[in-house]
Every structure is written in C-alpha cells, then in structure tokens.
Amino acid sequence: MRTILVMVAVGLLLVEPGSLAKPARKTENVAPVAASTTEKARVDFETQLKPIFKSKCMPCHFSGGKMYDRLPFDKPETIRKLGTKLFTRINEENDRRLIEDFLSQTP
C-alpha cells in the first residue's frame, strides 16, 4: 500500500500543475494571427498632423509667415525632412507619437 502511495505522489509531482483540471488543448485548428492586426493605423497628415502644427507653429510656418518660404509646415515633405527635429516645439507625448508614426510610414 505504501508503495502505491509513493508512486501516486511521484506521478503527481511529474504532472504539470493544472493539467489535470484542463482538457488537452489542440493547436492544429488555431488560426494564425493576421499581420494586419499588429500594424498601426496610417496617420493622415491633413486631419491629424496639420492641426498640431497649426496650434504650435502658426503663424511663422504657414502661408504668410516669415519661415513659410524655407520651412512650410503645411506640406508633408517638410515634416519628413525635419523628422524628430520638430520635437523642439512639440512636447506633448501623444503628438510626438503621431509624428513618429507618420515618419515611419512609407510615403
């Protein structure tokens, strides 16, 4: 009798915790996670970024401003050219994240 108890105890120690209560899980029918679920949504320059620049960089970098001829912030190519150098005036984390996401997108 003692031998049987020892064998049962050893057997329980070798079993993965919780595996007795759970049915075996089949992985063959599990659908793969689509790559698109991990992709970030595209950042739209006109509706998402331009309002940030208007609130932080107006009037100088918009039409009629003293910096507009050199650095027009109403054009996405200017923003791509400057990259994270824009962060000298853009301090809010959410705004920076949007800009970084925009910069990581292919044009």
Question: Would the pTM of this model clear 0.85, i.e. be above it?
Answer: no
CA neighbor of 43 nearest in space, from 29, 53, 28: 53
Q: What is the full DSSP assignment across 5-59?
A: HHHHHHHHHHSPTTTTTSPPPP-TTPPPPPGGGTSPPPPPIIIIIHHHHHHHHTT
Q: How confident is the model at residue 104 (pLDDT cuts 50, 70, 90)?
A: very high
pLDDT value at residue 17: 55
Contact by Cβ (8 Å): 84, 103? yes
| pLDDT tens per residue, range 12-62 | 555 555 555 555 555 555 555 555 556 679 999 999 999 999 999 999 999
pLDDT value at residue 80: 96
Average pLDDT over residues 79-101: 95
For 46-99, strand residue ranges (E) read: none
Average pLDDT over residues 90-103: 96
Q: Domain map of the chain by residue range? A: 45-104
pLDDT value at residue 89: 87
Residue 18 backbone zone (phi > 0: left; psi -120 to 50: alpha; other: beta): left
pLDDT value at residue 71: 96
